[in-house]
Amino acid sequence: MADKVAFLGLGIMGRPMSANLVKAGFALTVWNRTPDRAESFAAEHPGVRVASSPLDAAADADLVITMVVDAPDVEQVLFGARGAAESLREGALVVDMSTIAPTASRQIGERLGAQGIGFLDAPVTGSRPKAEDGTLTIMVGGEAAHFARAKPVLEALGALVVHVGPQGHGSMVKLINNTVAAANALAVAEALVLARTSGVDPAALRRVMSAGSGGSAMLELKAEPMLAHDFEPLFKLDHMLKDVRHCLEEAEALGVDLRVGSVTAERYGEAAQEGLGNCDFAAVVSVVEGPASAEVPTKKT
Amino acid sequence: MADKVAFLGLGIMGRPMSANLVKAGFALTVWNRTPDRAESFAAEHPGVRVASSPLDAAADADLVITMVVDAPDVEQVLFGARGAAESLREGALVVDMSTIAPTASRQIGERLGAQGIGFLDAPVTGSRPKAEDGTLTIMVGGEAAHFARAKPVLEALGALVVHVGPQGHGSMVKLINNTVAAANALAVAEALVLARTSGVDPAALRRVMSAGSGGSAMLELKAEPMLAHDFEPLFKLDHMLKDVRHCLEEAEALGVDLRVGSVTAERYGEAAQEGLGNCDFAAVVSVVEGPASAEVPTKKT
């Protein structure tokens, strides 16, 4: 008797995640702000119900997943007009898999808690390919009992599902991870630009760095697109910038001085101002290259 | 008919590297500034000759390896009083495995070249354990013919031996790698301090980061010592700072703006000023923790 699941938000990530829930046998209702995407998804996946609103989607659900962009979007689908919270019954569980600020997560959790509805913040790492393969990493904050209940659903979506602590801590871990990833990617960009400028073969540099202390997931994933200026978005620069800024806000509130985090926000901010916000975050290499990078043709998508 | 090799500098790295050359069957002469270390090495490795000076060491050598701290030390052992260059015969080859500035490497190469002596800059990555196992990564700049000649010797020391380009490029790749490593380690330090301050379980954070976009060699190697404040030096903070500064100088000369590199130099510089220069560079976590870190007992060695 698998839970009935409602999935709200069929974007780059939400759509393949929903497909994996269907594959795992969950009874699924979907809703998307632009209805076309929900209709086309249901057309490809017989048995999936398309809801006309979050309220409609949540009406018969045991578990509601939200996968949208930021806190205001989560609040809108839960508490806005025809929001899910209107129809959710006591004892239901909301799992927010968007990446939002820990403070916002905790506020949403309190508001739902007052209605007797459980809440987990369960953001993910891994871009579209891992969403497709069901191999995301999912970091979950909230009560242990809620985590236990959501686990079978989350395991259909991720290869590593970790309960990291109480409410808000899933978001916190996600923000920290992404800030480190953004910083590591920027360090790779600086390395590649300096190599090219000094006449060092970037391929030899990569080989050496991969084998040793300079190695990172970002080197493996982003060096190639950076060198080729292939910025087709697996994870948009604007979204990365948002996460780094949220992380800095949390750090500032706690009195922790993230010096690398700050220059990371600075550089991604410059890239966004240059109109690269919808590119993959690998596009940060362009601001490191400086005006000279205009020579390299940029593939925007 | 293996080359006769002279090894100058039996420090943390040089000693285990020399042991691997003995194991590989090279006829070895060693010299060290403080003679005790050379004597004790020879006592453990019968057949090794202890030289009284770099001049003495180089007199019968086909290939001379220098493994000292910085450019002035390399210049001293080669061109100083009773330096190796005085006795090296035409056609001999010097391989500098220290990490020095590319500019200095090129100057030394020119000076030796004028005497008909070949030169390779061949710095390494990997700390003492990899020096012991003969699994260093070695990045080599210089002429292809010289590289071919040194290769059997270098392969006794490293698992990955890469010819990265002409003279100076080995050093350049090394400096870039170390700057990225130092930056990645600082990003890990910021992540761990923010996690601890916000109440997130650092072990859960590490698990998530290792599996995803926040993963790096530095996370695997330095998170544990940073959390435990175990700063026994595998690679001294002062040496890391030196490398980052050299890298920034090269970048500045080429007009490349290394923003992450700059804050990295800043933070390691603060750590050095706090007296942590002889600790492992993991000690940079202390400056991120700020004055509160005085609570955590620091193991200095």
CB contact under 8 A, A176 and B214: yes
Domain boundary among A165, A196, A215: A165
Q: Which residues of chain B neighbour A133 with C-beta distances below 8 Å?
A: none
Q: Is the pLDDT of residue B241 over 80?
A: yes
**Domain presence at residue B99:** yes
The residue from A119, A147, A165 where one domain ends is A165
Domain shared by A138 and A160, yes or no:
yes
**Assigned domain for A301 exists:** no
CATH of the domain at B280: 1.10.1040.10
Q: Are residues B217 and B117 in the same domain?
A: no
Q: Is residue B226 a part of any domain in this protein?
A: yes
Q: Is residue A116 part of a domain?
A: yes
- Which residue in this structure is represented by tokens 């632009």? A34
- What is the predicted pLDDT for the residue at A267? 98
Chain A residue at shortest CA distance from B200: A169
pLDDT in the model for residue A3: 78
Minimum-distance CB partner of B125 among A186, A212, A257: A212
> In a mutagenesis test of the B interface, which of A125, A139, A173 is the best target, namely the one with the most B β-carbons within 10 Å?
A173
Contacts of B214 in chain A (CB under 8 A): 125, 176-178, 180-181, 184, 217
Residue B296 has pLDDT above 90, yes or no: no
Give the whole-angstrom CA distance, residue A214 versus residue A205: 10
Task: Look at B164 and A217 and tell me if their CB atoms are within 8 Å.
Answer: no
Write out the E strands in B13-157.
27-31, 49-50, 63-66, 93-96, 118-121, 124-125, 136-141
Tell me: the pLDDT tens digits for B186-227? Answer: 999 999 999 999 989 898 999 999 998 999 999 999 999 999
A interface test, pick of B178, B180, B287 with most A CB neighbours within 10 Å: B180
**Judgement on whether residues B129 and B212 belong to the same structural domain of the protein:** no
Nearest CA in chain A to B184: A184
- In total, how many domains does chain B have? 2
Question: Least CB-CB distance to A208: which of B125, B193, B258?
Answer: B125
Query: What pLDDT is attached to residue B2?
Result: 59
Quick check: B200 and A176 CB within 8 A? yes
How buried is residue B148: exposed, middle or buried, by Cβ count under 10 Å (0-12/13-18/19+)? Answer: exposed
Which one of B260, B264, B280, B289 would you mutate to disrupt binding with A, by most A Cβ within 10 Å of its Cβ? B260
Residue B1 pLDDT class (50, 70, 90 cuts): very low
**B92 with B127, same domain?**
yes
CATH of the domain at B159: 3.40.50.720
Query: What's the gap in Å between the CA of B132 and the closest CA on chain A?
Result: 15
**CB within 8 Å: B257 and A137:** no
A200 with A259, same domain? yes
Q: Are residues A16 and A124 in the same domain?
A: yes
Cβ neighbours for B149, distance < 8 A, ≥ 6 positions apart: B3, B63, B93, B118
Beta bridge partners of B184: none
Report pLDDT for B7.
98
CA atoms of A159 and A170, how far apart (whole Å)? 16
Do A35 and A149 fall into the same domain? yes
Cβ–Cβ below 8 Å for A180 and B160 = no
CA distance A59 to A67: 18
C-beta atoms of A217 and B218 within 8 A? no
Tell me: do B132 and B231 sit in the same domain.
no
Question: What residues contact B66, with CB distance under 8 A and at least 6 apart?
Answer: B8, B9, B74, B77, B78, B84, B94, B95, B96, B97, B98
**Model confidence over A106-121: pLDDT tens digits?**
999 999 999 999 999 9
B234/B240 Cα distance (integer angstroms) = 11
B132 domain residue, yes or no = yes
The domain boundary residue, chosen from A130, A165, A200: A165
Residue-range definition of the domain harbouring residue A210: 172-295
Which of the 8 DSSP states describes residue B231? -
Q: Report the gap between the CA of B82 and the closest CA in chain A (Å).
A: 35
> pLDDT exceeding 90 applies to what percent of chain B?
88
One domain for residues A86 and A182: no
pLDDT, tens digit (0-9, with 9 covering 90-100), for B32-66: 999 999 999 999 999 999 999 999 999 999 999 99
Please judge whether B186 and A263 are an interchain contact, meaning their C-beta atoms are less than 8 angstroms apart: no
- Identity of the residue in B173, B183, B256 whose CB atom sits nearest the CB atom of A205: B173
Taking CA atoms, B80 is separated from A169, B84, B257, in Å, by 59, 8, 36
Contact with chain A for residue B183, Cβ under 8 A: yes
Q: pLDDT 10s per residue in chain A (301 long)?
A: 457 999 999 999 999 999 999 999 999 999 999 999 999 999 999 999 999 999 999 999 999 999 998 899 999 999 999 999 999 999 999 999 998 889 999 999 999 999 999 999 999 988 788 999 999 999 999 999 999 999 999 999 999 999 998 999 999 999 999 999 999 999 999 999 999 999 898 999 999 999 989 999 999 999 999 999 999 998 899 999 999 999 999 999 999 999 999 999 999 999 999 999 999 999 999 999 997 554 444 444 4
Same domain, B12 and B50: yes
Whether residue B99 is predicted with pLDDT greater than 70 in this model: the reply is: yes
Which backbone phi and psi does A160 adopt, to 5 degrees?
-130, 115
| CA-to-CA dists, residue A97 to A141, A147, A148, B68, angstroms | 11, 13, 16, 52
> How do strand B124-125 and strand B136-141 relate by DSSP bridges?
antiparallel
Residues A76 and A153 in one domain: yes
Catalogue the active-site residues of A.
Answer: 174
Q: Note the pLDDT of residue A292.
A: 57
Distance, CA of B170 to chain centre: 12
Residues of B forming the active site = 174
The enclosing H or E element of A97 equals none
Indicate whether B301 belongs to any domain: no
Shared-domain flag, residues B9 and B91: yes
What ipTM describes this predicted complex? 0.84
